[in-house]
Amino acid sequence: MSETPAAPPVPAGPEPGPVSAWLSQQGLGHKLLEPDHFGVEMIGIEPTLLQVVAAALKADGFDYLQCQGGYDEGPGQQLVCFYHLIAMDELVNDGPIIPPEAKPREVRLKVFLPRDGIPSVPSLYGLFRGADWQERETFDMFGISFDGHPHPKRLLMPEDWKGWPLRKDYVQPDFYEMQDAY
């Protein structure tokens, strides 16, 4: 008799980090993602839960939106809108002196969106004023709409520009005719 080889071990998914565990305790749905190369916890959020999760994290101390942006996973794949939040007050408060090597608590939220139609997420401008130009740039380059943004217009490209230049399926026009802006 020959022995049948053992099945290869099933790789375990990412372990929940402290932010994921806290979100679970609060009853806020999310998807665990692999940490980035620096070990920053990454969490997938449904577009409808973005404002609720971001508000809960802000109340938990994540008071600084360091970066908001987007990227394209490739032609026919999803667009991704991301938010990098940091608990800055814990580093700059009037408490004990914090050593320079101390690392802030940080987390990256990702919202995965279909590329067809006009993908949209709720704006975080009401929670983080710094989201203003960052969300406008993401709209301008990837075509992701931010519902509730107070200034939803292009930031980098002319208002009448067609398409979203940083999408990987973007076809650059042969020429662009400048229109009278007035």
The answer to whether the CB of 13 falls within 8 A of the CB of 32 is yes
Average pLDDT (49-72) is 96
159-182: string of b/e by CB count within 10 Å (b at 16+)?
eeeeebebbeebeeeeeeeeeeee
Q: Which of 9-13, 91-95, 106-110, 117-121 is predicted most confidently?
A: 106-110
Band (pLDDT 50/70/90 cuts) for residue 171 is: confident
Closest CA to 104 of 55, 67, 64, 50: 64
Q: What is the pLDDT of residue 160?
A: 85
Beta-carbon count within 10 A of 35 CB: 15
Task: Report yes or no: 156 and 116 within 8 Å, Cβ to Cβ.
Answer: no
Indicate whether 58 pLDDT > 60: yes
- Going by pLDDT thresholds of 50, 70 and 90, the confidence category of residue 175 is low
User: What is the CATH architecture of 18-147?
Assistant: 2-Layer Sandwich (3.30)
The SS3 of residue 143 is coil
pTM of the model: 0.84
Alpha carbons 136 and 167: distance in angstroms, whole number: 15
